């Protein structure tokens, strides 16, 4: 019996095949009405903002690409990158310390998290701003005997450094919990298998656990990077005013137009945040490989090509 006789011909349903269902989408007039109302409200808001002289759009256009604003964007990115790099590294170390069998390291890590998560970041930055008043000089050497080097903190003018330290130490406390959650998400069987292969505890963490924990660590870490970008507005407590918000605030203090300068700063924060979100998407997709059954476009094309070749070979053999 041929395939056409059995009703299995390509594109022709057989007598035993189910009748195709013609699905008709359900009409939802309420959604269309809500969309129209929202669109009208958005248009009214945009028109009102565009025609409102209080926004100072001419001033906004004047300072959007001002060199001082662009310099502030650069310092904001530097604060974000440096603080996050230090925070991630220190947070990973604190997470490993909390999971180590050593009770001393576990206690030190817990106390650190208790202090830096229990106090506001603004208060911590104020403290780092007052650091030169608390410790006027730093001496390096053997205690109570020889001094090899001495630094006058008040002469260093290291507001940027103190801002990075304050942001990084606060961020490390939160990154420690994120990394710890990622490590705990890896099954115990992975650790036991590594120990069976003769790996030490440190080698197991570095070679087996952390690579698998990355798919859990990356998404909240991306959110922390975006949050850090916005937290840099608090470094005026150090005080440090060369970042984006500080620059916009200084300019508005001269021309007495805070609203357009706030819009300028908000625009650049949105631009940088959007770029970071795109980067976060690709990084998450990279580390999610093998964790999802959803095939990519390239994988679907390869599967279709393989299926076509197999059907072609079967047809040639049957003829």
**51-79 pLDDT per residue, tens:** 889 888 999 999 999 999 999 999 999 99
CA distance 179 to 284: 15
| Res 244: pLDDT | 92
- Predicted confidence band of residue 149 (pLDDT cuts 50, 70, 90): confident
Average pLDDT (116-130) is: 92
- Predicted confidence band of residue 24 (pLDDT cuts 50, 70, 90): confident
Q: Which residue, among 260, 106, 92, has the nearest Cα to 177 in the 3D structure?
A: 92
- Predicted confidence band of residue 4 (pLDDT cuts 50, 70, 90): very low
| Res 314: pLDDT | 52
Residue with tokens 């310390």: 97
Average pLDDT (267-272) is: 95
Lowest average pLDDT, out of 37-41, 222-226, 244-248, 298-302, goes to 298-302
CA distance 208 to 175: 20
Please answer whether residues 180 and 205 qualify as being in contact, where contact means their C-beta atoms are separated by less than 8 angstroms: no
- Predicted confidence band of residue 289 (pLDDT cuts 50, 70, 90): low
CA distance 280 to 119: 29
| Res 282: pLDDT | 84
Instruction: Using the predicted structure, report yes or no on whether residue 319 has a pLDDT greater than 60.
Output: no
SS3 194: helix
Lowest average pLDDT, out of 33-42, 162-171, 185-194, 265-274, goes to 185-194
| Res 194: pLDDT | 78
- Predicted confidence band of residue 184 (pLDDT cuts 50, 70, 90): confident
Token digits of residue 122: 């603004």
Residue 18 gets which letter from DSSP? P
Taking residue 299's Cβ as centre, other Cβ atoms within 10 Å add up to 10
| Res 132: pLDDT | 82
């Amino acid at each position: 019996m041929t395939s056409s006789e059995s009703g299995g011909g390509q594109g022709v349903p057989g007598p035993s095949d189910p009748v195709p269902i013609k699905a008709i989408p359900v009409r939802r007039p309420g959604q269309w009405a809500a969309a129209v109302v929202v669109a009208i409200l958005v248009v009214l808001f945009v028109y009102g903002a565009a025609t409102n002289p209080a926004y100072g759009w001419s001033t906004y256009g004047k300072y959007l690409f001002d060199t001082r604003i662009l310099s502030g964007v650069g310092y904001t990115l530097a604060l974000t990158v440096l603080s996050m790099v230090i925070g991630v590294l220190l947070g990973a170390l604190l997470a490993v310390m909390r999971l180590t069998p050593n009770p001393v390291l576990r206690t030190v890590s817990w106390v650190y998290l208790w202090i830096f998560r229990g106090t506001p970041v603004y208060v911590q930055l104020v403290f780092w701003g007052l650091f030169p008043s608390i410790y006027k000089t730093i001496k390096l050497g053997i205690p109570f005997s020889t001094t090899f080097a001495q630094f006058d903190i008040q002469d260093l003018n290291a507001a940027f450094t103190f801002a990075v330290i304050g942001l990084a130490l606060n961020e490390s406390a939160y990154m420690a919990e994120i990394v710890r959650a990622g490590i705990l998400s890896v099954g115990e069987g992975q650790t036991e298998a590594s120990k069976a292969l003769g790996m030490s505890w440190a080698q197991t963490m570095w070679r087996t656990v952390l690579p698998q924990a990355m798919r859990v660590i990356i998404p909240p870490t991306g959110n922390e990077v975006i949050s850090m970008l916005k937290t840099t507005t608090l470094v005026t407590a150090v005080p440090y005013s060369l970042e984006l918000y500080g620059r916009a605030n200084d300019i508005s203090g001269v021309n007495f137009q805070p609203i357009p300068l706030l819009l300028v700063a908000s625009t650049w924060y949105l631009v940088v945040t959007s770029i970071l979100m795109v980067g976060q998407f690709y990084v998450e997709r990279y580390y999610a490989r093998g964790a999802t059954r959803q095939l990519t476009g390239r994988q679907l094309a390869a599967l279709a090509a393989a299926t076509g070749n197999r059907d072609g070979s079967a047809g040639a053999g049957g003829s």
